[in-house]
Structure 1
Amino acid sequence: MKGIIDRFEGDYAVVELEDRKMININKIKLPIGAQEGMVIHIADSITIDKDDTLKRKKEIEKLTEDLWEK
């Protein structure tokens, strides 16, 4: 299962899953260096998908550039 870290609240990361459902994951279960906006794979363990995270970041930057050019 794939999700995006939306935000941190106390001891938990609020993660939006592919089906738009929101779940809470205890921060101690996340890999070191996990941050808001990162794409993660949730299975037996939780890993950061660096390629999808970078792709998503570039898409967002492009959208904001387009917004300010108008």
Structure 2
Amino acid sequence: MKGIVDRIEGNVVVIEIDGQTQDINKNDVSSDIKVGDVVLLVSGKWITDETETKQRESKIIKLMDDVWEDD
């Protein structure tokens, strides 16, 4: 299962999975998770997918550059 970290609220990590948010106990999430990370559920623990997270960040930066590009 794959998702994106939407926000962290105390002991809950809110992860968007297939367009729906789910509250996940912070104990079930790797300690290095950040908002915006693409995460995978592996053996009952949510971990960061480093490759997809970097690709997502690059895509967002490109979209922002396209929006703010001066002609």
TM-score, length basis structure 2: 0.88
CA distance in 1, matches of 2:32, 2:21: 21
1:5-64 residue CA offsets vs partner (Å, 9 max, x unmatched): 0011121111001x2011011112211211000011114222210000000000000000
**Number of aligned positions between the proteins:** 69
After the TM superposition, which residues 1-70 of structure 1 pair with which residues of structure 2 at under 5 Å, given as runs?
1-17=1-17, 19-44=18-43, 45-70=45-70
Look at both structures and tell me which one has the larger radius of gyration over its CA atoms.
2
Q: Which amino acid aligns with 2:55?
A: K
CA distance in 2, matches of 1:43, 1:24: 17
Q: Which runs of 5+ in 1 are unaligned?
A: none
Q: Percent identity?
A: 36
TM-score, length basis structure 1: 0.89
Q: CA RMSD in A?
A: 1.2
CA distance in 1, matches of 2:24, 2:35: 13
CA distance in 2, matches of 1:22, 1:29: 16
Q: Which amino acid aligns with 2:63?
A: L
CA distance in 1, matches of 2:47, 2:54: 15
